[in-house]
Every structure is written in C-alpha cells, then in structure tokens.
Chains A and B, each alone.
Chain A
Amino acid sequence: MSGALAGDPLTGLWLGRLLVAMTVAIVVSVTFLLLHHAASLRREAVRRRRIEAAAEELAPYLAGRSGASAAMAAALRSRGRFAVSTVLRRARRCLAGDAERAISDLLEEMGETRRLARSARRGGALRRGRSLRRLAACGGPRARRELLRAIADRSPDVRRVAREGLLELRDPFSVRAALAAFLAESGLPHSWSRAFFLRLAVYAAGELRRLTATRQLTPNLEKLALEALAETGDAAAAPLALAGIRSPAAEMRAAGVRLLGAVGDHRWTPLLAGLLADPEWFVRAAAARALGGLGRDQGTLEALGQSLTDSHWWVRSNAARSLARLGPSGMNRLARAASAGHGFARQAAMPELLRLADRPSPPPPDEAATRDLAPALDDGATRDLAVAS
C-alpha cells in the first residue's frame, strides 16, 4: 500500500483471491436465501392444500365408520404420507375412547408410528424431540414404549418432550411413569415444572391431587401444583386449598388462597376474609382478589372495605377491584371510601361508575353513593363525567 505493495504479484494474487472469495460468498448466500425461501413457501402451500384435501376425504371415516382403512390407503396414494398422518394425528387429539384407539391403529397400520419410533432414536435432540411429540399424538402401545424409553434420553429437552408426551397418552400407567420421571429430575427450569403440572392438571387432575396430598413435593413444586389446579378450576381440589392455607409458609398460603378463589364458593368467604389480616402482604392481596369472585355478604364487604386502608398498595388495589366486582353494594362501599379520599378506591370506582353510566339501561348505584362520590370530583371532572354519560 502507499506504493509499498503495488506491483507485487503476490499481493495482487492474494487480493484477487480475497475479492473472488467474498463475491462467491455473497452470491452463494443470496442464492441460498432466495431459493430456500421460495422452496419453503411452496412446500408449505402444497402441504396445506394436501392436508385440507386429506381431511375432506377422511373426515367421514374418523368417527369409527367402517372402511376407514381403505379410505386411508386411498388418501395415502393421492395425498401422501405427511398429509394423511397430520390429519389423523390432529383428529385423534379431538376424539376419545374407541375412535381415538381406532385412529392410533390406523397410524400403526400405515407405518407412521414405526417410522416415528425409528426417527426418535436417531439424529440430534431437535429431531428426536419432534418425532417424540408426533409419536405422542399418534398414541398406541409402540408410541408408549418409545416415550418410556426416551424419558432416560441424554438430552433434557428430549426428556421433557417424552414426559409431556406420556401425559398426553392419558392412561394411568403412562401418567405415573411421566410423574415418576419428573420427580426424579432435579433442577428443572421453573417454566418446565409449571407446564408439566398444568398438563397433569388437564389430563390427570386426580393424580395431581393425590400427589399434592401426599406432601412429598418441595414447597415450590407444591405451590406450582396448587396453581395448576386453580388454573384448570378443579373443584375437587378445595381440601388441598385449605391445607395450603393452613401452611406456615406464606407462599403456600397465597397459593391456597388463589386456588380457593378459583374453585371455592361463598361458604369459604369468612375464612378468606380472615386472611385479609395475614402478616404477609401477598397473602392479603390474594385473599382480597379471591373474595371479589366469591361472596357478597356483609362480612365480605366490611372486610374488603377495611382492606382499602391496608399498608400495601397491591392489597388496597385488589380490595378496591373486588368491591367493584361485587355489584351495587360493593360500589356503594367504594363510593364512600372514594369520598373519604382513598385513591385506590377512587381509581377502582370511577371506571365502574362510568361503565354503568355508559350502558343503555344501567343498574346504577344508589343515589347516596353517587352523592358521596361527588365531593371527590372537582367541578370540571363532574361536568366531563356528565358529558361522557
């Protein structure tokens, strides 16, 4: 450079090679990008069309009508393996009992289960996991065998897919095997445990209840189990909620309260109202929120009204929201609190009052309540409220 290397044939050669290599790399990258993109779009479109056609052809036979085997063979010839197996797997998810078993048999008959079982033993973790996920959707003894084998796989991702796949099979043996494998694992990410319990609550809530009742779980897992039961609204889990509420661990008490709020009824409101005095703010907040969905008795109203002055803002906020959910009597209580200058009460009350005013035939809060709220609003605000109404 600067004349130093100019004219040197070695430099020219080296530079020429560099430029050629760079040009080739750019051209190859661009070509790969465009071709891959176009090909994958086309492949997806073709697959979508074939799946739709296969679904139309197979739909009449999926509920157990005779001739399914012949229809499947015909669809296999015309639409291909991918389309037929996808339709069958998706149909199996929506069915139960004999129809579900019949589809598993069809998938076995067409060789899909065998093919996936082979694929689940080969390649990287991504491929093995994908095959196992599809196997779980196929069902049947071979799928179960393969999933049971995979719960000891070297990859944690594959083991996770295997456990969740076994849950999906729903038979007691598979569920227990998945559960045993899950409990044998240590240091699982929080989200994995949460997802596992949620699936367990959906597919085998009884098993999850039994496991929680044995008190063998760590506090963290027990909390997740209670949350999963709350999420699926399993009414039979109320005794577990009560056990959680009596726990010395605050996290457990909060989880128990949330569960009771999701599955309980008005009989539990005195218990929950008592928890508004819990020393931990998040237990009080959970109780305040749970009460909003359960009872409208005077005791609940009073307890929630007192929580509007709680030392923690989240408890106050939840109490105000619960009062707003409790209908006119709750609104009256909120309006009184708002007029006394409680910010959260005012914040919760205003949108509710506005929504009532916005309805064509509103069930308005009583006059006294509206009158009580008036001092909380300045003149401009009242005028705006009137305009909005």
Chain B
Amino acid sequence: MTADPLLFGLETLILGYFLTLNTIYLVFTAIAFFDLLAYRRRWPQRDDRPLIADSAYPPISILVPAHNEAETVVENVRSLLELGYPEFEIVLINDGSNDDSLERLRRSFGLAAVPPSHRQRLPSRPVRRTWVSARHPNLTVLDKQRGGKSDALNAGINAARFPLFCTIDADSLLEPDALLRIARAFAEDDRVVAAGGVIRVLNEAPVERGRVVRAAAPRRPLLLCQAQEYVRGFLTGRSSLARMNALLIIAGAFGLFRKEAAVRVGGFGCDTVCEDMELVARLHRRAREERSGARVVFLPDPVCWTQVPSDWRSLFRQRDRWQRGLLQSLWKHRCMFLDPRYGAVGLVAMPFYAFFEALGPVIEIGGYLFLIGLALTGRLDPTFALLFFALAVGYGLLLSVAALNLDDLLFKRYGRTRDLALMLCGSLIEFFGYRQVLAAVRAAGFVTVFLRGRSWGGQPTRTRLIEEKPA
C-alpha cells in the first residue's frame, strides 16, 4: 500500500492516461502502415490518368471561401486553374473582404459581373454580385456579405453546378493531380459521400507558378513542429479511423463532398466554428440512421499545401478555435456517444475524440502541474517522474518517428535528407514547450467555448508564397 492513496491514485491516473493514449496511437500507426501499404500496392505513385477514362471522373465544383486573402488569393486561383482534371469549375466566395481581394481578382482574371442565377438551396447571407471570368469559363466569383466560412461555403454550394464539391482554403495550393486522386474514391464507390486528403505545410516551401516544386521542411521551429504534427495526425490517426468508417474530421482546407448528401443534411452548420467536422459528423449520423451505407474515406496521396499560422498568437487562436469546434460538435452529436446503432462512429470515434482529443489536454496539463507541484513540495518520486517522462515524451517521440518512417517508406515526399533530419528535430523539440503550451491553450478551450462560442477569433497572418527562381 502507498503512504498517500490520493497521490498514488492521481499518479496512476496520469500515467495510465498517457500509456493508453500513446498505445492507441501505436495501434493506429500499425493499422495505418498496413492500410497505406495496401493502398500503395493498389495505386502506385504514378500518373494513373490513362488507366481511368476521363468520363469516369465526376465533374467537380471547387469552392474557395476567402476573407481578406488578397496576398495569396490570385496565386491560389491560378494554381487551381492549372489542375489536371477533366471537368471542374472554381467558385471563389469573397466573404465580405475589406481588402482589395476582389479588385486583384478582377484585374488578374478579367472578371465581369453577371446577374446571379443559382437556386438558394441552403441558407446564406445575400450574394451582392456574381462575377465570371472572360478568360476562364470555369471561374466564378461570388461577392457576398460577410457571414463566416460556413455561410460562404453554403453560398458556394448554392452556386455550384456539379455533383461533387471540393472545399479549399484560399491560402492553400493543391498538387496538380490531387483532384484526380481524391475523385477516384467517388469514381470507384458510389457510397462515398466525403473524402479527405493530406494537408502539408506550405510556409517556406518553394513555389513556382502556383505549384510547390519540392517538399521542404520549414526552418522555423514553430512551423517545423506543426509540419511534424500534420504528418503524424494525417497519416496515422485519420487513416486508421477511416478504415473503420469512423473518420469524423475532414480538413476544411481540402475535402471532397457529394453535393446532394451535403445539401440533404443542411450544408455547413453556422452554429459551430469547426464546420468541417460538424458536417462530417452529420453525414455519418444520417448515414447510420438511414442505414444508407454511406462512407467517409481518407486518401493518403492527394496533397494540399496550406499555410499554417506562423506566429504564436495566430496558432493560439487556431487551436482555441479547433478545440471549441471539437467540443461544440461532440456536444451537438452526443446522442451518438457509445451508441451501438452508430457503429464505429459511436463506439470508437466519439469516445476517442471526447477522451483523448477534447479531454486530453486537460489531463496533460494537469499532469505537468501535478509534477511541478510535487517537485515544489519536495514530494516528487523519481520513479513517477521518470515514468512520466518515458510515457509522455519518450513514447510520443517514438510515435512521431514512426509516422515519419511511414511517410518516407511509402510516399518519400522529402527529396533531401536534410529536410527529413529537420523534421526529426521538429518531432523532438515539439515535446519541450510546444506541446505543453498548445495543451494549455486547448485546455482553456473548455472556458472559451462559453465565452467566445462561435467567434472565429481573428484572421491568421498570411505570408507571400516563396517563388522559386528558375535556375
């Protein structure tokens, strides 16, 4: 027996939590390895366009919501126009920008105003004007009153002509074959209602004519930690949950949805700040309730490069928003929690997101504070401290390196060993400050969700893309 049962209980709880969390991630990594290996065998990394007839690819409407994105919006649209896809249209929704985004778009693409002609299937703030490009018949720009990202996306769905729509952030760049690869899921399986691809960090990557010319690890520690986090999160967590058809998050920066399915569930919800997760949860819920067999899939090779927050302030706002969105979505769909009628979503995904993604930061921060408290009061047991270090840092580091191994073995994105070494540094340094600070911010989300609710929390800082100089 222990001298202090309360302390012993707390120590066991904290250690047990980290052990369970990291073991779950280890299982996810193992599942992801076999899943991604099978995927790679079936779809080798080559141009498979000739193997699938053009007519088999459903046409896609690409929705790009933009609010004060003047710095990157023209570059982004230009890269989208060069996508290698048989038939697509771009619907850019200027969501009440105060900057000169619209003026830049008008100058760059020869926009002319036309009367709006779409049906209002989903509620959205009024569209002031519809613009079409004289040079690119597949480019439409909607200029609407400010209503937030969800509202802009709903307006975009109303204006979309095609049966599938793809959501892309205005500060993101798609790889040229990303649409082909992600649309394959819909061409193969009619039950697929949503598909997500991989998001990678665009900041500091060399860009030429709207395309990322090579994957490069960022130099700045803050970006490096995020780059590492994205690799781990996408390749292991999402891949495993998607295998169980329990994927609850498709990044708003790059997701492909079946329009009719999205319209049937009411489009993007304006009552949450994480509209992407909430829509996917609703799609799952409807599919399970109607037993339609609808699937939400994840594909590891369509890649979207996105700008991540480059300063702490923007990062705090982003993570606070994600945490609030997660809590709002979980609360809104709490009826699925541990309900066997909702299959893996109710029994695996919801508890996982609730206990480890939402509640995790609170326990993590609690653990650190507890450790500090014990040290300050002179009651710190070295055994506990070492075990805590081994489970929280060592185990986590091992998982990060495993995710990088997975990425390199199967996809070999980084063309230089130096970049990979930098990513390894990122996976190490994230355990010394970065994770703890973000855990604190996310833990504070339990308070801010009541204070800020649906507030977006300000615009992240955008930087110009780095244009690679021709040799």
Contacts and interface: CB of A to CB of B under 8 A. Distances in A.
A127 B416 CA distance: 27
A182 B416 CA distance: 43
Contacts, number: 166
Contacts of B41: 125-126, 129, 157
B167 to A, nearest CB: 21
Contacts of B135: 355, 358
B3 A4 contact: yes
B114 A350 contact: yes
A184 interface: no
Nearest to B10: A2
Contacts of A4: 1-3, 8
A258 interface: yes
Given A4-B2, A19-B386, A34 B424 contact: yes
Contact of A22 (B132, B394, B424): B394
Interface in B374-411: 379, 381-384, 386-387, 390, 394-395, 397-398, 401-402, 404-405, 408-409
A2 B390 contact: no
B464 interface: no
B383 A6 contact: yes
A344 B159 CA distance: 11
B4 interface: yes
B405 A378 contact: no
B401 A350 contact: no
Nearest to B382: A6
A385 interface: yes
Contact of A194 (B56, B137, B401, B415): B56
B45 interface: no
B383 A354 contact: no
Given A15-B386, A380-B113, A2 B7 contact: yes
B228 to A, nearest CB: 13
B79 to A, nearest CB: 21
Nearest to A12: B383
Interface residues of B, number: 63
A39 to B, nearest CB: 10
25 contacts: A1-B8, A1-B11, A1-B381, A1-B384, A4-B1, A6-B381, A15-B387, A18-B390, A19-B386, A19-B394, A25-B398, A125-B41, A191-B52, A195-B51, A198-B51, A198-B52, A227-B56, A317-B161, A351-B134, A354-B132, A357-B134, A376-B115, A384-B131, A385-B114, A388-B134
Please provide the 4 A-B residue pairs with the shortest distance between their CB atoms, ordered closest to farther. Answer: A343-B117, A388-B112, A354-B134, A351-B137
Contact of B408 (A33, A157, A346): A33
Central interface residue in B50, B51, B115, B382, by most chain A CB within 10 Å: B115
Interface of B: 1-4, 7-8, 11-12, 41-42, 50-56, 110-115, 117-118, 129, 131-135, 137, 161, 184, 187-189, 379, 381-384, 386-387, 390, 394-395, 397-398, 401-402, 404-405, 408-409, 412, 414-417, 420-421, 424
A228 B51 CA distance: 11
A198 B53 contact: yes
Given A4-B8, A29-B398, A29-B402, A355 B417 contact: no
A194 B53 contact: yes
Question: SS class of chain A's interface: helix, strand, loop or mixed?
Answer: helix
B404 A33 contact: yes
B401 A30 contact: yes
A387 B417 CA distance: 52
A41 interface: yes
A23 B397 CA distance: 10
Interface string A19-47: 10011011001101110111011000000
Contacts of B115: 346, 376-378, 381
B270 to A, nearest CB: 25
A194 B113 CA distance: 42
Contacts of A97: none
Contacts of A190: 188-189
A319 to B, nearest CB: 13
A336 B8 CA distance: 82
A230 interface: yes
